[in-house]
Structures are given as structure tokens and as C-alpha cells.
């Protein structure tokens, strides 16, 4: 498995700059083998970035020697693909399709997609569950038209968005769509927040897991304030790593750690090494 860090975990002093050079240098200096990029409506890489701009970034990545295969996208929180407003749903698909194209231009293999928000502590949206699942399927099928065309995996992830509380339900959702470009972006810490056992999810979801995020969580807190440094929470790391190896997962593992503080990357790098050694 490949030790990587999320772009969202980096300091604002780096991510606010219109260049990727400082980002790549920092990631290497902190001992990570790779980086997960981010695409949004604005910023270093956004839905209006040109092919030439994306290819120029890729050249710098290749020169750095870092492994950059995935892209994180958090636009669902601003344009919910299962919104009760059809105009918002349409706009969400358009923006995520644009992000998929730029993911391909960046030479990346997979893009994270939050498949909709039913109800969440980080969103004001409230959508009826059955309608949300139906609309999520519609959005995923539309986005797969682009994903399959550009050769990128569309990886759906639960992010405290009030959907797919069961690994059986999540697996069934993915299986019902039947596309080789569709998979699950599994987040160990997010799952623990649902008070279920991450290793069980991993074994049930199996090969449907195309990419992995890690973070840690304190169940005794139980709210967003429960997210904490790696190995400072309740994630059963040895069992989770054993489960990932059991299903044959050997690709990027992205530490998604927020909010940033001065020692975050160093602490994460050290703990990450211990986790990978389990």
C-alpha cells in the first residue's frame, strides 16, 4: 500500500498559492510517497482549469517522483446531487463531470464523489431517503458516461452524509449499476463514526473498494469533534490493515487529516508508518 496525504490536509500557506511546487516539496519533505489532489469550483485546480494547465501540473508531479493517482472532490456540499431542486441536481452532475475530465487531464486514475446528502451535521439539506438513493443512482449513471469515456474510476464515498449506513446496502447500490469504472472510496474513520466495525465493512465490500482514506475517531465524543490524530482514537488499525490485505488492496492509502496545525503532517507521517507496518 502507498502512503499518501490529502491536499486538504496541507497548510493554507501552501494550498492558497497558484503553484503546485511548494505542495510537492512539502509532501516529500514530510515523508509521504504520494498526494491526493483536489478539484473544486475555484483554487489551484478547478472545474475551469484547461487541459494545458492540468498537463503542466502533471509534468511537475512526474518530475517530483511522487505518486498522484487520485482526486478529492467536495462539491456535493455546495451542489447536492440528490437535492430536492432539479436545477441543483443538474448543476451538480455538470460540475462533477467537468471534474472527471480534469482528473483525466491530470493523469489521475480515480475521483472521489460524495453521492448525495440526506442529512448531515455539515449541511442544511434534508432529503427523503428513498428519493436520495434513487437520485444518487441517476447521478452516478450520468457521471459514469464521462468516467468511462475518459478512463477514470468514479469512487463513491460516505462522508457523514446520511446515506448507506450498511455495507450490505452500499455493496448492493454499486452492484446494481454494473460498471467497471464504479467503485467505493472507503474511509476507515468515517465508518467508525457510524458506530460500526471498519474491518467488517472492508471484508463485505471487498473488491468494490477501489481507493482508501484513513483518519481516526473517538467514539466517546461521537460528533465531528471526535476526529483526531491517527492512533489517538478507536479505529482498530491492526484488524483494518489485515482486512485490506485480505481483499488484496495494494494501492494508495490517503490520510485525510483536518484541520491543519503546525505539527499535523509530521505526526501523521510517523503514525502512518506504524499503521502500514501492522
Select from 84, 92, 130, 89 the least CA-distant residue to 113: 92
Beta-strand pair 216-217/227-228: antiparallel
Q: Residue 107 in contact with residue 99, Cβ under 8 Å?
A: no
The 3 state secondary structure assigned to the chain is CEEEEEHHHCCHHHHCCCCCHHHHHHHHHCCCCEEEEECECCCCCECCCCHHHHHHHHHHHHHHCCECCEEECCHHHCCCCCCCCHHHHHHHHHHHHHHHHHHHHCCCCEEEECCCCCCECCECCCCCHHHHHHHHHHHHHHHHHHHHHHCCEEEECCCCCCCCCCHHHHHHHHHHHCCCCEEEEEEHHHHHCCCCCHHHHHHHHHHHEEEEEECEECCCCCCHHHEECCCCCCCCHHHHHHHHHHCCCCCEEEECCCCCCCCHHHHHHHHHHHHHCC
| 12 Cβ contact list (under 8 Å, min separation 6) | 260
Residues of the chain with pLDDT under 70: 13, 15-18
Report the greatest alpha carbon distance in the chain.
48
- Residue with cell string 511537475: 60
| Cα–Cα distance, 45 to 53 (Å, whole number) | 9
pLDDT tens per residue, range 120-141: 887 788 899 999 999 999 999 9
**What Å distances lie between residue 184 and 9, 92, 158, 162, 175, CA to CA?**
21, 19, 9, 16, 11
At residue 119, the pLDDT reads 86
| Cα–Cα distance, 276 to 278 (Å, whole number) | 5
Which three cell numbers, joined as nine digits, stand for 135?
437520485
Neighbouring CB atoms inside 10 A of 206's CB total: 15
For the whole model, what pTM was predicted?
Answer: 0.95
At residue 120, the pLDDT reads 80
| Cα–Cα distance, 38 to 111 (Å, whole number) | 9
Q: Residue 132 in contact with residue 165, Cβ under 8 Å?
A: no
In order of their start, the domains of the chain are 2-276 (3.20.20.150)
At residue 13, the pLDDT reads 67
| Cα–Cα distance, 204 to 168 (Å, whole number) | 7
At residue 18, the pLDDT reads 57
Amino acid at each position: 500500500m502507498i502512503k499518501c496525504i490529502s491536499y486538504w490536509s496541507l497548510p493554507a500557506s501552501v494550498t492558497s498559492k497558484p503553484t503546485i511546487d511548494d505542495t510537492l516539496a512539502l509532501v516529500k519533505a514530510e515523508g509521504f510517497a504520494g498526494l491526493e489532489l483536489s478539484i473544486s469550483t475555484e483554487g489551484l485546480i478547478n472545474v475551469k482549469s484547461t487541459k494545458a494547465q492540468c498537463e503542466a501540473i502533471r509534468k511537475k508531479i512526474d518530475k517530483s517522483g511522487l505518486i498522484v493517482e487520485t482526486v478529492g472532490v467536495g462539491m456535493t456540499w455546495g451542489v447536492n446531487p440528490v437535492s430536492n431542486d432539479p436545477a441543483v441536481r443538474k448543476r451538480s452532475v455538470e460540475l462533477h463531470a467537468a471534474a472527471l475530465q480534469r482528473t483525466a487531464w491530470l493523469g489521475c486514475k480515480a475521483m472521489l464523489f460524495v453521492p448525495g446528502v440526506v442529512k448531515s451535521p455539515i449541511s442544511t439539506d434534508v432529503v427523503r431517503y428513498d428519493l436520495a438513493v434513487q437520485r444518487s443512482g441517476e447521478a452516478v449513471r450520468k457521471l459514469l458516461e464521462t468516467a468511462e469515456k475518459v478512463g477514470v474510476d468514479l469512487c463513491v464515498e460516505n462522508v457523514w452524509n446520511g446515506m448507506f449506513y450498511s455495507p450490505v446496502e452500499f455493496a448492493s447500490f454499486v452492484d446494481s449499476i454494473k460498471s467497471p469504472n464504479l467503485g467505493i472510496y472507503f474511509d476507515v474513520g468515517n465508518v467508525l463514526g457510524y458506530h460500526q466495525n471498519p474491518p467488517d465493512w472492508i471484508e463485505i465490500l471487498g473488491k468494490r473498494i477501489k481507493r482508501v482514506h484513513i483518519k481516526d475517531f473517538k467514539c466517546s465524543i461521537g460528533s465531528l469533534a471526535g476526529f483526531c490524530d491517527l492512533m489517538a482514537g478507536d479505529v482498530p488499525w491492526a484488524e483494518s490493515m489485515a482486512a485490506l490485505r485480505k481483499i488484496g488492496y495494494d494501492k494508495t492509502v490517503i490520510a485525510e487529516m483536518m484541520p491543519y496545525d503546525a505539527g499535523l503532517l509530521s505526526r501523521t507521517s510517523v503514525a502512518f508508518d506504524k499503521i502500514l507496518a501492522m
